[in-house]
A and B are shown apart, each in its own frame.
Chain A
Amino acid sequence: MSGTATSRWGLRVLGLGYVLLLLLLPLGLIFYKTFEHGIAPPLDAITSPDGLNALKLTLLMVAIAVPLNTVFGIGCALLLVRHRSRGNPLIDAVINLPFAISPVVIGLSLFLLYGTTGWLEPALAEAGIKVLFSVPGMVLASIFVSLPFVVRETVPVLQEIGTEQEQAASTLGANAWQTFWRVTLPAIRWGVAYGVVLTTARVLGEFGAVSVVSGSISGQTQTLPLFVEKQYQNFNLPGAFGASVLLALLALSTLLAMNVLKRKEDA
């Protein structure tokens, strides 16, 4: 065996071992533990009223935060790449904040803004809108933590495709809107799709920020990750594991959906 072959095998073993030990083993154990005593215990926990409510809330978070952040993300990427201006580096840095700041801190900052002593509280109370310990606050937290993904995935693709296709479209009579829908969006779609998958995964799994603003009230403001924690604390392990597996499957299915779509198109 030559030196390069040895090092290639060495790297392979190292890489696989790393992934196996740190990613696949813990995840595999969860699956094993969940179904250790058959499918009934985890299923019962998930189909309990609190469990179903948590699932519903989680899907609601995804249904609101993902489309909003997708539209915002594409718009923001277009602004950053296609309309160069002096303020852009600042916008670029600010968009990364949710990556840099701990979700708990994000939750606390929302608390300060919308809480009983918060800046916006008087106005909101007058309008009869309750943000904290209810769905609006959780939606805000979800949007906040998952905001950068679509922007970050779309910017490099936009840079790569360049402006010539868009210019060609305009000389052929297309207005800005037609150019966007027929030329730009199809060209960046896989970048956007990947951003959407990451956004979805993040919203599904978000714990810290949502935990702070929701108060984690069972059956009312509990998303699946919060439900998992509550079950775990109450020593209801089948419930905790069952909900965990459900969460993992939801995230995996979005990833799978994108791969299937992409394969279909490449074929």
Chain B
Amino acid sequence: MGITVEGASKRFGDFQALNDVSIEVPNGSLTALLGPSGSGKSTLLRAIAGLEALDAGRVLIEDEDVSKKPAQKREVGFVFQHYAAFKHMTVFENVAFGLKIRKWDKAKISARVHELLQLVQLDGLAERYPSQLSGGQRQRMALARALAVEPQVLLLDEPFGALDAKVRKDLRTWLRRLHDEMHVTTIFVTHDQEEAMDVAGQLVVMNEGGVEQSGGAADLYDHPANEFVMSFVGEVNRLGNHFVRPHDMSVSLDSEEGSEEAMVQRVVALGFEVRVEFVLGDGTEVWAQLTRGELQRLELREGQIVYLRPGQTKSFSGTEISAAA
């Protein structure tokens, strides 16, 4: 197993950041830790890196218990949200840092650094300082710096969080490709479910210091273990005790069996996809995701009365909510 965490707990004052968390990350996989802020995902990542000491539990990297090892001896590559670039060093010196610490000789360092800069497409910028780079370039430099020492595992803490939407999308694709080439066991933390699904093969959904569910992206989307996962991974409407995805709402102009009367409140065109908001007879607000074609066929206008029929619905009873890893 690439990375194993067993029964990890961590408390900051009154705040229980991690509560008996166990996860398993297979060798060579790309796994996302997904959860809202305060869910403990970053603390878990930092604990794996040795940047945070656990109150209880163990961390194993390639089946070796590293719980007692300091960060400097764990052979992990860590990428921070705000880059953590060494500001007084050039791009070259930043990437060479770990190699200098390991006392490589100069020629070897130079060759390795240029190879990495090529990989992250910063080859011409070796003599620049971090302040002369854009956010995306800085993060690629940080990634090259982390990869330079050939870590056993690569850990990324919201690596694209500080970047704008376009750069973020490019870097996602790029990270996925990089992982396909390097096959280093990678965990990355994000609060963006779309990003997690786009990049990672495996997802671990966290909430309030615990793991709600883990599995493949499609698996979590189609078979969420509980209400939290259902509403966090993908959009959801709540109808009484039932949950339904907005694209599983069918809209009709005539009353059918099992349909409910609703009034159109707002129609928002988002390119190909159209978001239509309704209010039901009992005041519940729901929305449906339609295609442009459906909208044109139905000719929906604000204030119009239509009939909604939820397709696939899900309900979770208390006992079904599992916190298993």
Contacts and interface: CB of A to CB of B under 8 A. Distances in A.
Interface of A: 164-165, 167-175, 178, 182-183, 186-187
Contacts of A171: 49-51, 71-72, 74, 76-78, 146
Q: Which 10 pairs show the lowest CB-CB distances between chains A and B?
A: A172-B98, A164-B84, A168-B84, A171-B78, A170-B71, A186-B88, A173-B101, A170-B72, A174-B101, A173-B72
B98 A173 contact: yes
B311 interface: no
Contacts of A178: 101
A165 B87 CA distance: 9
A164 B97 contact: no
A169 B97 CA distance: 8
B322 to A, nearest CB: 34
Interface of B: 49-51, 70-78, 80, 82, 84-88, 97-98, 101-102, 142, 145-146, 149
Given A164-B80, A172-B97, A174-B72, A183 B51 contact: no
Given A165-B84, A172-B72, 20 more contacts: A164-B80, A165-B85, A165-B87, A167-B78, A168-B145, A169-B86, A170-B70, A170-B72, A171-B49, A171-B51, A171-B77, A172-B97, A172-B101, A172-B145, A172-B149, A173-B72, A173-B73, A173-B98, A174-B97, A187-B86
A172 B80 CA distance: 13
Nearest to A189: B88
A168 B49 contact: no
A167 B101 contact: no
A178 B146 CA distance: 17
A164 B74 CA distance: 17
Contact of A167 (B84, B85, B88, B98): B84
B78 A168 contact: yes
Contacts of B101: 172-174, 178
A164 B149 contact: no
Nearest to A169: B97
Contacts of B75: 173
Contacts of B98: 172-174
A173 B98 CA distance: 6
A183 B87 CA distance: 9
A168 B87 CA distance: 12
14 contacts: A164-B80, A164-B82, A165-B87, A168-B84, A170-B72, A171-B71, A171-B77, A171-B146, A172-B149, A173-B72, A173-B75, A173-B98, A174-B97, A187-B88
A175 B73 CA distance: 9
B90 to A, nearest CB: 13
Most chain A CB inside 10 Å of its own CB: which residue of B78, B85, B146: B78
Contacts of A187: 86-88
B160 to A, nearest CB: 16
Given A168-B78, A168-B86, A171-B76, A182 B97 contact: yes
A249 B240 CA distance: 83
B142 to A, nearest CB: 8
Contact of B72 (A175, A182, A183, A186): A175
Contacts of A172: 72, 97-98, 101, 145-146, 149
A193 to B, nearest CB: 13
Contact of B86 (A170, A173, A175, A183): A183
B154 to A, nearest CB: 11
A266 B77 CA distance: 31
A175 B102 CA distance: 11
Contacts of B82: 164
A187 B86 CA distance: 8
B271 to A, nearest CB: 38
A167 B77 CA distance: 11
Nearest to B73: A173
A267 B149 CA distance: 32
B135 to A, nearest CB: 15
Contacts of A173: 72-73, 75, 98, 101-102, 149
Nearest to A176: B72
A150 B71 CA distance: 30
A168 B80 contact: yes
B97 A167 contact: no
B51 A170 contact: yes
A167 B51 contact: yes
Contacts of A168: 78, 80, 84, 86, 142, 145
A186 B90 CA distance: 13
Contacts of A186: 88
Nearest to A265: B88
Nearest to B51: A167
Nearest to B94: A168
A178 B98 CA distance: 11
